[in-house]
Structure 1
Amino acid sequence: MPINVKLIDHVVLYVSDMERSVQFYETILGCKVVRHNEKLNLVHMSAGASMIDLLPAPVAEHAGRNVDHVALQIEPFDADTLIAHLRGKGVEPTAPRDRFGAGGTGPSLTFSDPDGNTIELKGPATSA
């Protein structure tokens, strides 16, 4: 089996008020802002060994949804093997690329589950 899930790397939540949400996760759960992706207005917050990412809620495209995606940290991350495995199961993944996660930046790819939820498979970090 080419997929060995280690832990949930991060969950990306849509929020209606970024400031209010950051304050909530800081004061109620003790999370800390790790990074702010200005381009996407995405706030990465520590949550133990994982992260909770906050993203402004889209107006129309994902109306009614409050989760953008769930990222699972896996090891090892062999893109060719993962793609072959997923395609063999009838799942079409995106091309792998580097993304930021709980351990830093590393390789990942995404695909949809049967209900249209986006799953990200995140490999070990190659940089902080």
Structure 2
Amino acid sequence: MKNFSIERIDHIVLRVTDIERSLAFYTSVFGCELRKRRDDLGLIHLGAGASMIDLVDVDGPLGRQGGAAAGKQGHNVDHFCLRIEPFDEQALLAHLRAAGLAVEKAQMRFGAEGTGLSIYCCDPDGNQIELKGPSLEP
């Protein structure tokens, strides 16, 4: 039996071919706000209401891990993140492992509320899902 509930989508991560063009699009068309840049990773975090949209340059360090740009053989969305409560790492790992999922120890990652612990897993189709707890650092 699960021991947490989903509160909302924390963020989505989009792989893009021109990160500056995408930054301009999301800020000018949708009014997203630049929250944080990680040029060393080819990553931009944009505020989107209470959530975030992350842009990853397909030619950057993170983007290259996903293969080619979107097309018949490449995917555009890297993963989606669900903000959960409570975040009890041991109980969560036990629950996910009992469901047959391969999971590793939680790590600190940046999200819409700041930096906090999260765990990655995959759905039956291989879509990557991040389960994120509350922010521990702004």
CA distance in 2, matches of 1:94, 1:102: 22
Cα 1:61–1:34 change in 2 (3 A) is: closer
Residues 29-40 of structure 1 aligned to structure 2 (within 5 Å): 29-40=30-41
Q: Which moved more, 1:78-87 or 1:34-43?
A: 34-43
**Amino acid of the residue matched to residue 120 of structure 1?**
E
Q: Which moved more, 1:53-62 or 1:86-95?
A: 53-62
2:114 to 104, 107, 112: 104
Q: Which moved more, 1:19-28 or 1:88-97?
A: 88-97
Q: Deviations over 1:67-89 (max 9, x none)?
A: 11101101110000000000111
Residues 1-128 of structure 1 aligned to structure 2 (within 5 Å): 1-57=2-58, 58-59=63-64, 61-63=66-68, 64-128=74-138
Q: Which runs of 5+ in 2 are unaligned?
A: 69-73
Cα 1:111–1:16 change in 2 (3 A) is: same
Q: TM-score, normalised by structure 2?
A: 0.88
**Amino acid of the residue matched to residue 18 of structure 1?**
I
Q: Secondary structure at the match of 1:111?
A: strand
Q: Secondary structure at the match of 1:11?
A: strand
CA distance in 2, matches of 1:65, 1:30: 25
**Amino acid of the residue matched to residue 136 of structure 2?**
T
